[in-house]
A and B are shown apart, each in its own frame.
Chain A
Amino acid sequence: MTTVPRRDRPGFYYPKPPATWWLRRPNYVLFMLRELSSVFIAIFLVLLLVQIHQLSQGPAAYAAFVERLRSPGWIAFHVVALAFALYHSITWFNLTAVVQVVRLGERQVPPRLVAAANFLLWGVVSLVILFFFLLGG
């Protein structure tokens, strides 16, 4: 089916979203925070790569690098990055529940249950890593 073309008349008013559009609703702000979180996570990952590289440069270089990370600025950065990583992970796991339809026979598993399973798995993996870390430390 086709519609009779209706030329955009000059009478139309075309609204333009202001630069502050993302402050209009709480969900927009949360969304922007999630986008922003990737910046911190990216910096953290680059840092991790540098750290691994330093490891290959010998114990002294590595120790010096680690020493530099002990500065208040870097610690503050890591706290913020951790907060963002947690925020990103939580929203991500909630999202997968929406995205991934899990069916058991005829019935769809409620998304909340899928999210809960995700979080449980995440917790278990974290604990295992922590265990090895403490064992090794």
Chain B
Amino acid sequence: MSEETITLEVTRYRPGHDREPRAQTFSVPYRKDWVVLDALNHIKDRTDGTLSYRWSCRMGVCGSCGMMVNGVPKLTCAAFLRDYHPGPIRVEPLANFPVVRDLVISLDDFMEKLRRVKPWIIREVEKPVAEGEYLQTPAQLDLYKQFSMCINCMLCYAACPVYGLDPVFIGPAAIALGYRYNLDSRDEGYRIRQPILTEAVGVWDCTFVGECSVVCPKGVDPAAAIQRSKVAGAKEWFMSMLLPWGGR
């Protein structure tokens, strides 16, 4: 008996040669414990060495292998063939991003935005290392922990129609990470960071579709981070209207 196979429809795009992406069909062995990434590796090793995509840890933590699988943003190292049986399975580059080649998208925009939200501890005075750690109770840790779980896999950007329509939006992951530092009891940078999060292309661009949180593989819930930043921003604006003379 010949081995059972499953069909993958993979997006190909050769810069300089193709005007736009096209789909190429590959047939790969169907194994129940294979993920979509295993199938792509099989194609690269055995069928077509020119197929380009990113991958590394194959355990869902490095964030490299995000792609659209049947139209949904997924980490392909965690998308099992068996869940798409009998196929065919459509594999495309993450939506909303410029395509560099085949399944490889450009991250330049996100890298710039991540830096813009200042995702680091800001202190008025740094405590010397010799004086030991900042004390932080488990409850204080819990406040921000969830938002520190972001692996920058970009699935949330691929799911966000606002980002797709207008890429100036800072976007879910970067806002969630900025918010994470705002919540950290060790941080004193709220006054610097919050205006960046609440600027025109920041949280107020979000129309709360909520799909970012649905596709997040790490339960970060960036939508919640954005909405909570909106509430905080609105509260502050309201207070400043009520108490225009109030200090900072």
- List CB contacts (< 8 Å) of A9-41 with chain B: 9, 11-15, 17, 21-22, 24-25, 27-28, 31, 35
Q: Is the CB of B142 within 8 A of A98?
A: no
CA distance A14 to B228 in the complex (A): 32
* In contact, B71 and A101 (Cβ under 8 angstroms): no
Tell me how far the C-beta of A91 lies from the nearest C-beta in chain B, rounded to whole angstroms. Answer: 9
Of B165, B214, B221, the residue contacting A98 (CB under 8 A) is B221
Which residues B206-248 have CB closer than 8 A to chain A? 207-211, 214, 221, 223-224, 227-228, 230-231
Per-residue interface assignment for chain B, residues 18 to 44, with 1 indicating a CB less than 8 Å from any chain A CB and 0 otherwise: 101100000000000000000000000
CA distance A14 to B95 in the complex (A): 10
Residues of B within 8 A of A14 (CB): 98-99
Q: Give CA–CA (A1, B164) in the complex, Å.
A: 27
A71 cross-chain contacts in B, Cβ below 8 A = none
Q: Find out whether the CB atom of A11 lies under 8 angstroms from the CB atom of B161.
A: no
Could you tell me if B96 and A17 are in contact, using CB atoms closer than 8 angstroms? yes
Q: Is the CB of A98 within 8 A of B98?
A: no
Q: Which of B72, B95, B96, B210 meets A31, CB within 8 Å? A: B210
| Nearest CB in chain A: distance from B144 CB, A | 11
- Pair A12/B15 contact, Cβ less than 8 Å: yes
CB nearest to B21 among chain A residues: A13
A57 within 8 A of B: no
A95/B209 in contact, CB under 8 A: no
The residue of chain A having its C-beta at the shortest distance from the C-beta of B17 within the complex is A11
Closest Cβ neighbor of B92 among chain A residues: A15
Taking a contact as CB atoms under 8 Å apart, the answer to whether A28 and B209 are in contact is: yes
The answer on a CB contact under 8 Å between B20 and A27 is no
Instruction: Decide yes or no: A35 and B207 within 8 Å by CB, A13-B13, A27-B214 being known contacts.
Output: yes
Chain B hits for A35, CB < 8 A: 207
Interface size range on A against B: 20 to 34
Kindly state whether residue B111 has any CB partner on chain A within 8 Å: yes
Q: Is A108 an interface residue (CB 8 A)?
A: yes
Interface presence of A128 (CB below 8 A): no
Q: Chain B residues near A25: list those with CB within 8 A.
A: 71-72, 211
Residue of B nearest to A105 (CB): B139
Bound Cα distance A14, B221 (Å): 27
Judge whether B98 and A95 touch: CB under 8 Å: no
**Residues in B whose Cβ lies below 8 Å from that of A1:** 115
| B99 close to A15 (CB less than 8 A) | yes
Cα of A17 to Cα of B214 in the assembled complex, Å: 20
Question: Using Cβ atoms and an 8 Å threshold, which residues of chain B touch A31?
Answer: 161, 207-211
Beyond known contacts A8-B108, A28-B161: 9 more, CB 8 A cutoff: A3-B112, A8-B98, A11-B15, A13-B99, A15-B97, A25-B71, A27-B210, A31-B161, A99-B230
The residues of A with any CB-CB pair to B shorter than 8 Å are 1, 3, 6, 8-9, 11-15, 17, 21-22, 24-25, 27-28, 31, 35, 95, 98-101, 106, 108
Question: Which 8 pairs from chain A and chain B are nearest by CB?
Answer: A11-B15, A12-B98, A13-B99, A99-B227, A31-B209, A17-B164, A106-B139, A98-B224
Q: List 24 A-B contacts (CB under 8 A).
A: A1-B115, A3-B108, A3-B111, A3-B112, A8-B108, A11-B15, A11-B16, A11-B100, A13-B15, A13-B99, A15-B99, A17-B95, A17-B96, A24-B71, A27-B210, A28-B211, A31-B208, A31-B210, A35-B207, A98-B221, A99-B224, A99-B228, A101-B228, A108-B142
